[in-house]
Amino acid sequence: MKRLNIKFIPELAEMRIGEVGSYLTATTLWHAINCVNWPDQFGYKPQTKFMIGRSESALYIHYKVDELDVKAIYATDQEPVWQDSCVEFFVQLPNDEGYANFEFNCIGTALATKRKSRNEGIRPFSIDEMASIERHASLGREPLEKTGKTTWELTVKIPFGLIGITSIDKSAPLHTNLYKCGDATANPHYLSWSEIGTPTPDFHRPEFFGIMNL
């Protein structure tokens, strides 16, 4: 099980989302999303890493990916972005039966819900809630397909209220996992930050989440 500490960076609260990635690069550390959990079925491993920080009211994640044949055909929130070149963040609070999943393609289109499991108790976030998730994509926001190797970056701001955090409790760690996938890309792949012990790809498994301390 992976563990890390989320650095408190109060300056983030005053920044535009397009400035956050470079500031995180200067103030915190990269972490790899590099677990190839199903190598016999899906061995492709695009280089993927992330940085994470927080203000008093939000999480900030900056992803950087080196990937072959990048694809983003979905431009409207709550469409199936996992089929595109996609990064994801799943999070569960202590003693919570459910968890939240935040999924983003490489142009920043998002799918986000609260749910009890992959198929149960699913509540998609509302239009207003989705609008509160700020994003900055290095590739822009228009649909695209690129052949060959592409480096892309994505910065997201997730308000704590969407996760269910109403006040900072440093004694209550977040249970999380981060993923890189692309179900319908030319090179399907399923990478994770914290290792997953299932026979086939399944990101909706909180029992394999890692730990992040606020």
Number of domain units in the chain:
1
Expressed as residue numbers, the domain containing 116 is 3-190
The Cα 139–Cα 147 span in angstroms is 14
Q: Is residue 208 part of a domain?
A: no
| 178 within some domain | yes
Closest CA to 87 of 123, 22, 139, 127: 139
Most distant CA atoms of the chain, gap in Å: 46
> Mind listing the pLDDT tens digit for each residue in 147-186?
999 999 999 999 999 999 988 887 789 999 999 999 999 9
List the CATH number of the domain containing 128: 2.60.40.1190
CB atoms within 10 A of CB 91: 23
Look at residue 131 and give its three-state secondary structure: helix
Give the per-residue pLDDT at 53.
97
Cα separation, 70 vs 186, whole angstroms: 8
Tell me, yes or no, whether 196 lies in a domain: no
Amino acid 1: pLDDT: 86
pLDDT of residue 172: 85
- Position 95 scores a pLDDT of 86
Q: What is the pLDDT of residue 167?
A: 83
Q: Is 23 a domain residue? A: yes
32 lies in a domain? yes
Q: Tell whether 204 is covered by a domain.
A: no
Q: What is the pLDDT of residue 203?
A: 98
pLDDT at 171: 74
Flag whether 210 is in a domain: no
Distance CA 162, CA 132 (A): 9
CA–CA separation, 121 vs 81, rounded Å? Answer: 20
For residue 202, tell me if it sits in a domain. no
- Low-confidence residues in the chain, pLDDT < 50: none
What separation in angstroms does the CA of 176 have from each of 64, 101, 138, 194?
Answer: 19, 10, 25, 8
Q: Average pLDDT, whole number, for the chain?
A: 97
